[in-house]
Each structure stands twice: as structure tokens, then as C-alpha cells.
Amino acid sequence: MTSAMAPVMTPYFPEHGDRRYGVSHYDLTLDYRVPANRLAGTARLTVSAAEPLGVLDLDLGKFRVSGVTVDGVPARYVHGQGKLRVTLPRSLPAGGQAGVEVRYSGNPLPVPSPWGGLGWEELTDGALVAGQPIGAPSWFPCNDRPGDKASYRISVTTASPYQVIANGVLVTRRRSAGSTTWIYDQPEPMASYLASVQIGRYRLAEVAGIEVAHPARLATRVRHDFGRQGEMMELFTDLFGAYPFTGYTVVVADDDLDIPVEAQGMSIFGRNHVDGARGFERLVAHELAHQWFGNSLTVACWRDIWLQEGFATYAEWLWSEASGGPSAGDHVERWHRRLALLPQDFVLADPGPAALFDDRVYKRGALTLHALRRAVGDQAFFPALRAWTAEHRHGSVTTAQFAGHVQRHTSRPIGPLLSAWLYGKPMPRPAAPPDH
């Protein structure tokens, strides 16, 4: 891709995140009281300066901050309008590191957005986190941009009747006087919006080799509706490469949710997505595919979100074909007809923040991948995908990187095709299969 095709653009959420520094590790110690929706936290961040830094701006919602230290030294701070501004006791040179500790408490409130409240959400009996794209500051101080990935340790103490699920591997569970502390370790780098905590009265079960946390009364439906995840995992491992994380957990909340949500190593569904008839199985496939496309390979900038949602949607179509449903080609024909009826005013690789979750991001993104597959053939397309996930495992990616990557895996010039699908407004016609 040339620079003319992919010009430098301003961030979609300029009020979130700061490129002047990065965070390599978050250590979160949380205490949550379910009936009061009360969260008390201590967050320890390992910060690295990308340039000389005298002030640190963290994203944090409406909490009471009771203290901040930097390398153990108390620091001055100002908190408001979603920002915690910390004056460093000593300026950091470019490349310098510091340990920042923030103590805070309050009632976590979702971050307002065009898509409703994002982040920490109080349930009927518990809580969940759905952070995409800017909800992470609803529960911890962070550098809230997708390209800044870090390892995490998440400790949550809450009343013992509740199960706590967070990213990574459960390393410790301690009970004391009616409460339980759950400690999870997430060593693989993770974007702040993918950090997640789920709290509820869940039963844990293994379904098709995958852990599922669900309300006890939904056990039969859950076993049926998620019963083919093992086959999905086999298919996606074959097509996309090795599963990128230590484990995978599905959580079925005991509330209705508008849509399922992905987190790193985890997917969250509402009870309304479990009908006992696999009526939402395409979404089961979609969320699993995000472990490769979105969670391991995370967009560096939100304008490239098609690299996550288009890939996960195409994975739905691949699963449909492999499991005896309509073929990927059938889905392509149906969705091409439907999108062709819409106004042709949409740029896939720069949809704008208001259209970040527009259905065209998902469906035109999948159509783009199928057009690319038809143009280069399966013998180039799927090896290129496996190499893409392997080479950028646990990293950040851009559209330009993807275009250059695929071009290296085929002798056919793909620049004009990708330019038309990604940066042209009129939707191209479906591609013909390659000549053999």
C-alpha cells in the first residue's frame, strides 16, 4: 500500500491514550462489593517514557483518588474529566522507567459513548466488563489506546458465593471470612480495552474441551449451544494457526446483553444468546475467531478495525461452510447484494468513529477477504493468514502491514484490488477465481 492510499489520520478518540509513554505491566488489586456496586482498587503500573516526560496523563473515570506514588515517592496529581494527571517527582528521560501506584475507590460507572455505556457494568446480581473500545478507564487507570499492550496481574476480592473470571490463568484462590480473593495472571501482552472481570453466581463446566461459566439453570442449553466449539477450535487452528493463548473461557451472564463481547482469552454472552437450538452459533464462532484477530493481533489504530471484525465475520462464514451450512460463497453473494443496496459512501479502512461498529465494517471486511482469497487462490491465501498470525502474534497491526504481508505471499499484484475494497467508496464487484 502506498502512503497516498493510507494517509496519516488523527486518532478516533484523541481524549484517550497518550503516545508519549507506554505501560509494560499492570498489577490490579481490587475489592468489589456486589450489593453496593463499590470498587476499591490499587493499580501499579510499570511505565516507560517514549520521550522526556515530566507529567503522566492516565485515563481514569469518576473515582475518588486517595493517593499516587511514583517509585514509592508521593506525587502531586489532578483528577477530572476522565484524566488523572500525575506530576512526576523526577522527570523521566526517553527510555526511562517508573513504577506508578494509584489508590482509588468509588462506584464504577460505564464510560459514555455513541454505543451506550462501556466498561464496568452492574448486573442484576454481579458485574461484567465490556471495554471495547474506550471502556477500560471505567475500572482502572490506564493508557487507553489499543496499540499499547501490557501484561497483567488481576486480583479481585468479593463475597464467596460469587465466581470471578478474569483474563489469563487463575493462579491463586483464597477464602477468608465470607470473601474470596481470586488472582489471575495474564502474561501475554493485552490492550487495555480487552482487560476484563466477570463476577456472578456461575457454575463452571467443560464443554467440548472449553471452560464455560454459566447460570446453573442453563446447563443443558449451554452444553448444546456451545457443544461444537471444540470443532471450531480445530478448524480455526488449521486455517489461522495455533491458538494464541493458554486457555479460553466462555461466560454466559445471567442478564440479557445486546451483543456478545470478546476479551482476551474470554468471550461473554448474555443469557438471551442461549436458546438451546444453536440459534446464535455464528456469534460463538465470531467471538472465538477474535482470539486470533483482535486479541492476539490487535489494531494499532481504531480506523483499522476491519482487521478484527472483518476477519471474525469471515470466520463465521468459514465455520458455516465447514459445519454443513451455507458456503462462504453463498454468504458472499447474499451480503454483496444487501450492501450494494446501501449508499456507496463508506470507506472500509477509515469508517470514522461514528461508524466503527457499522455492519459494513463487518460484512464488507469479510467480502474483502473473500475477494482477496479468490484473487490469489487458497494455496496462497490460507498460508498467508497463518503466517500473518504467527509473525504478529501478541502484537499490533495495521492495514498497510496486512497488504504488504499478503503481497509477499503471491506473485499476483493485489494493490489495486485492496485499494478498491479498502479505500474506494463504491463497493467493487465480486472477484472471479484465479486462473489455473
- What band does 4 get if pLDDT is binned at 50, 70 and 90? very low
The chain-wide mean pLDDT, for the chain, equals: 95
| Catalytic pick among 202, 287, 314, 316 | 287
pLDDT digits (tens, 9 = 90+) for 277-312: 999 999 999 999 999 999 999 999 999 999 999 999
- What band does 1 get if pLDDT is binned at 50, 70 and 90? very low
CATH 1.10.390.10 residue spans of the chain? 298-423
Whether the per-residue pLDDT at 3 is higher than 60: the answer is no
- Average pLDDT over every residue of 118-138: 97
Say what the pLDDT of residue 430 is: 75
Say what the pLDDT of residue 347 is: 97
Numbered residues of the known binding site for Zn(2+): 286, 290, 309
Q: Look up the CATH number of domain 202-293.
A: 3.30.2010.30
| Catalytic pick among 21, 104, 202, 362 | 362
CATH 3.30.2010.30 residue spans of the chain? 202-293
pLDDT digits (tens, 9 = 90+) for 187-216: 999 999 999 999 999 999 999 999 999 999
- Average pLDDT over every residue of 147-175: 98
- Domain 16-200: CATH architecture, name and number where available: Sandwich (2.60)
- Cα–Cα distance between 111 and 262 in angstroms, integer? 18
The greatest distance separating any two alpha carbons of the chain, rounded to the nearest whole angstrom, comes to 71
What φ, ψ does residue 377 adopt, rounded to 5°?
90, 155
- What band does 434 get if pLDDT is binned at 50, 70 and 90? low
- Average pLDDT over every residue of 237-242: 98
- Average pLDDT over every residue of 68-88: 98
H or E element at residue 43: strand 38-49
User: Edge-to-edge, what's the strand order for the sheet holding 197-200?
Assistant: 119-123, 126-130, 197-200, 163-166
- Cα–Cα distance between 436 and 429 in angstroms, integer? 21
Concerning whether 362 is annotated as a catalytic residue, the answer is: yes
User: What residues are paired with 170 via a beta bridge?
Assistant: 184
As to burial, measured by CB atoms within 10 angstroms (0-12 exposed, 13-18 middle, 19+ buried), residue 14 is exposed
Q: Which of 295, 280, 306 is nearest to 363 (CA)?
A: 306
- Cα–Cα–Cα angle for 368, 369, 371, rounded to 5 degrees: 65
Which of 3-7, 75-79, 150-154, 386-390 is predicted with the least confidence, judged by mean pLDDT?
A: 3-7
Whether the per-residue pLDDT at 325 is higher than 90: the answer is yes
Residue found under cell 484477530: 293
Concerning whether 188 is annotated as a catalytic residue, the answer is: no
CATH 2.60.40.1730 residue spans of the chain? 16-200
**Spatial CB neighbours of 79, under 8 Å, sequence gap ≥ 6:** 60, 63, 65, 85
- Domain 298-423: CATH architecture, name and number where available: Orthogonal Bundle (1.10)
